[in-house]
């Protein structure tokens, strides 16, 4: 689920293959409307679909000539990104430990 606080998107709850599609679309709309940061502190469960979603959002922002900051990256997400060799593509703000 996504909530918008100004230019920040707060992602909460599980982000898995079971529910990523509507979350992906909500994020696209928010990015098109000017969102500049994504806070992942509220993510309770994840799989590689969260990584795919974030990369898609980063691409959407870049196509609009903007950047998207990622805050509070869950450790599990960083591990998945490292396994895939794409961790350098994640513009992290602040990271959870």
Q: Pick from 34, 97, 89, 80: which is nearest to 61 by CA?
A: 34
Q: Which domains does the chain have, with CATH numbers?
A: 2-89 (3.30.750.24)
Tally Cβ neighbours within 10 Å of residue 80: 19
pLDDT in tens, 6-60: 999 999 999 999 999 999 999 999 999 999 999 999 999 999 999 999 999 999 9
Q: Pick from 64, 83, 71: which is nearest to 10 by CA?
A: 71
> How far apart (Å, rounded) are the C-alpha atoms in residues 6 and 52?
24
Alpha helices in the chain (DSSP H): 20-32, 48-63, 75-84
pLDDT in tens, 47-96: 999 999 999 999 999 999 999 999 999 999 999 999 999 999 988 665 55
The pTM of this model reads: 0.91
């Amino acid at each position: 689920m996504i909530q918008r606080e100004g230019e920040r998107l707060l992602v909460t709850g599980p982000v898995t293959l079971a529910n990523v599609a509507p979350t992906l679309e909500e994020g696209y709309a928010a990015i098109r409307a000017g969102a500049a940061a994504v806070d992942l502190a509220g993510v309770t469960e994840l799989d590689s679909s969260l990584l795919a979603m974030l990369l898609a959002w980063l691409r959407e922002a870049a196509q609009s000539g903007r950047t998207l900051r990622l805050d509070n990256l869950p450790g599990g997400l960083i591990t998945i990104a490292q396994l895939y060799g794409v961790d350098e593509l994640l513009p992290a703000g602040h990271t959870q430990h």
